[in-house]
Copies of this chain bind each other. A is one copy, B any other.
Amino acid sequence: MLDPRTNVPPEGALVATLEGELDLASGRRLTSVEVAYETFGRLSADGSNAVLVCHALSGDSHVTSGDVGVSPGWWEPMVGPGRALDTDRLFVICSNVLGGCSGTTGPGSTDPDTGVPYGSAFPFVTIEDMVEVQRRLLDHLGIVRLAAVVGGSMGGMQALAWAKHHPERVTAVVADATTPRLGAQPIAFNVVGRRAILDDPAFAGGDYYQSDSQPDAGLSIARMVGHITYLSNESMHEKFGRRLREGIEYAYDFVNEFEVETYLAHQGRRFTERFDANTYLLMTKAMDYFDLRGESETLAEAVRGTPDRWLVTSFSSDWLFSTDQARDLAIALLAADKQVTFAEFESPYGHDAFLLEVEQQTSLLRPFLENSVRACAESLRRKEDAA
């Protein structure tokens, strides 16, 4: 039986059917692609205020609640009237990524060739494939040029891919808590998460949608591993220490005993209620594959053709997407003669800080985006004059 939680767009999202087929980096082709998206604010008359937000591994198009009174979005305190991404001034677009499980075509979607969910037949996707879908969505929406593309974590990788592959459509880039490419350790953590899913008997090679059992155990373990890497050692210890869930005596059993066990088990279980195991596999693979450098000799060479304006941010306690990696990117951008603002925010929250550190991020992001809208308007004006 098809699990009802699979690939349903968030309340209030729109679904666009993209024109044409989609050729993927892997060599595979999708004959039809739908994309779930949401927009907030209004596009200005000159079209200079569009900002594309790209979501991270477990995100979706629901970046904020907007004004329709629905549930909070994944970046709620950052996106809305008067916020860092001020929807009184900006036209914010956020879409679920290709291969996702929140309304955009993904492994839980019906394969038009078979009439049943793709499952294992769904092709691998890359960050660049996700960006191509977003590009077509912008065409569909009539947006010629973005004031900025903004993304954190895997969303930041998409922002980097936009910068590299479509610089003519991007005025400014915000690369938040991200990296030009993963090193061996983050790949290793992804490997463990995938292994847990692939080895779950209920995974059934990826074709579990019409089965009674789902690979919840494997997906839950993958999420637990992920969660550890999203928190800093310090914040985790601050939050849980060695506290026991009940009392002060050890129970001598395998039931969740330390508070941190209960927390991880809860996070794992909750995740299986809203996320799809095949999508988890595809997203982590897409991250592993992403390498901004590509064929270039150096990172500086790889970013030479990208937009002029950059905001690169990292968080002091983020050990998954560390400041070192962000700094390498910033240095490469400087070497390529870009206008780059690079900031490491002090935060105890590890990688999750990009979702939590609202004030610090707002202080930079808000003026950066205002300036980007002006620069975008200027570009559009010049283009019109030239035409």
Contacts and interface: CB of A to CB of B under 8 A. Distances in A.
Contacts of A316: none
Contacts of A239: 184
A236 interface: yes
Contacts of A184: 233, 236-237, 239-242, 258, 260
Given A183-B241, A221-B195, A224-B195, A188 B254 contact: no
Interface residues of A, number: 55
B182 A123 contact: no
Interface in A126-145: none
A319 B254 CA distance: 26
Interface stretch (A106-114, A196-204, A355-363): A196-204
Nearest to A201: B201
Number of copies of chain A assembled together? 2
A338 interface: no
A189 interface: yes
Given A185-B231, A199-B217, 15 more contacts: A124-B253, A181-B242, A183-B241, A183-B242, A184-B258, A187-B261, A188-B228, A188-B260, A192-B225, A192-B228, A194-B254, A199-B200, A199-B218, A201-B201, A221-B221
A250 B289 CA distance: 8
B281 A228 contact: no
Interface in A159-185: 181-185
A308 B123 CA distance: 64
A264 interface: yes
